[in-house]
């Protein structure tokens, strides 16, 4: 089971300290072209045949599906714990994703084992945090060995920073397995240009060094630095060429202490 959780960190500085808010940066969909830079990210035309798109559910069905998925996942966890205490071999289904973290407009490939051959397996994806949400379930048929292979298309950038859970439940065997994954870009702040000393709070007049990771090489991005009044004080447009893309900002020599914010588009 793959599991990776991004964290949002926020620190409030004392006198002469600027607390720089580390967001698990919410990407905002920009509907414009940069004046002297690359255009904002856009979604591909359509997923290939066979991929299940992320279709958000609304009340009252949203809560029903979310509760069903989470109860199934809890049941699967309890069954795993109980079977580990038994000496005899027990039947246990498994579910894994090909990656732990996915960018927007990408495919989550899921592989399951241990189901009854030929049975229908019900798949449900839900967002656990930060905004509990459920998505349209779908069915897949296990092969002659009880294995399943399916994919889910992240067709929106609304899931940036989210922790997701997928459950697979055999409709004949009632065997259930689950896995978690994330859809996030990570930003880390450092006090040195070599990016070796990470920190959250900085003194006036110092330089804040930022490093991004998790972005796609075929997408264009904009980094915005905002002061405590929420005014944009610096922007940087770029197309990723490596796994990490760096930026920095020189804080003014004086001002009112508060929370600074970095956003990525």
The answer to whether the CB of 161 falls within 8 A of the CB of 183 is: yes
| 230-265 pLDDT tens trace | 888 998 887 766 555 688 889 888 877 788 877 776
Q: Which residues contact 45 (CB under 8 A, 6 or more apart)?
A: none
| 104-143 pLDDT tens trace | 778 899 999 999 999 999 999 999 988 899 999 999 999 9
CATH: 3.30.70, 1.10.287, 2.120.10, 2.60.40. Which one for 17-25+185-264? 2.60.40
Residue 145: the pLDDT is 95
Distance in angstroms (rounded) separating the CA atoms of residues 214 and 246: 12
Give the number of other CB atoms < 10 A from CB of residue 58: 9
Query: Which of 78, 134, 101, 81 has the alpha carbon at shortest distance from 3?
Result: 101
Give CATH 2.60.40.1930 domain extents, the chain. Answer: 52-183
Residue 178: strand, helix, or coil: strand
**CATH H-level, domain 52-183: superfamily:** Macroglobulin (MG2) domain (2.60.40.1930)
C-alpha separations of 69 from 92, 113, 132, 178 in Å? 18, 19, 12, 9
Residue 51 has pLDDT above 60, yes or no: yes
Let me know how long the chain is: 265
* pLDDT tier for residue 183 given thresholds of 50, 70 and 90: confident
Distance in angstroms (rounded) separating the CA atoms of residues 98 and 138: 19
Bridge partners (DSSP) of residue 221 are 238
| 213-224 pLDDT tens trace | 665 555 677 788
Strands (E), the chain: 17-21, 52-53, 94-97, 107-113, 120-129, 133-134, 138-141, 148-153, 162-170, 176-183, 186-190, 201-203, 207-213, 221-226, 232-238, 244-250, 259-264
* Six token digits for residue 54: 């992320």
């Amino acid at each position: 089971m793959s599991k990776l959780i991004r964290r949002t960190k926020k620190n409030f500085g004392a006198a002469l300290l600027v607390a720089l808010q580390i967001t698990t940066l919410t990407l905002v969909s920009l509907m414009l072209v940069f004046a002297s830079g690359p255009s904002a990210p856009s979604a591909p035309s359509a997923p290939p045949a066979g991929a299940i798109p992320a279709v958000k559910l609304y009340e009252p069905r949203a809560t029903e599906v979310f509760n069903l998925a989470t109860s199934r996942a809890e049941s699967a966890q309890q069954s795993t714990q109980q079977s580990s205490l038994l000496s005899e071999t027990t039947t246990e289904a498994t579910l894994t994703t090909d990656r732990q973290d996915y960018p927007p407009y990408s495919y989550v490939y899921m592989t399951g084992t241990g189901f009854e051959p030929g049975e229908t397996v019900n798949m449900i994806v839900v967002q656990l945090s930060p905004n509990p949400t459920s998505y349209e379930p779908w069915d897949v048929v296990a092969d002659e060995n009880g294995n399943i292979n399916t994919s889910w298309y992240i067709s929106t950038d609304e899931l940036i920073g989210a922790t997701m859970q997928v459950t697979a439940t055999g409709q004949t065997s009632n065997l259930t397995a689950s896995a978690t994954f994330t859809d996030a870009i990570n930003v880390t702040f450092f006090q040195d240009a070599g990016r070796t000393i990470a920190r959250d709070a900085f003194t006036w007049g110092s330089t804040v060094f930022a490093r991004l990771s998790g972005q796609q090489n075929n997408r264009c991005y904009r980094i915005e630095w905002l002061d405590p009044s929420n005014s944009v004080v610096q922007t940087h447009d770029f197309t990723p060429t490596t796994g990490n893309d760096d930026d920095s900002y020189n804080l003014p020599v004086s001002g009112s202490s508060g929370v600074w914010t970095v956003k990525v588009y």
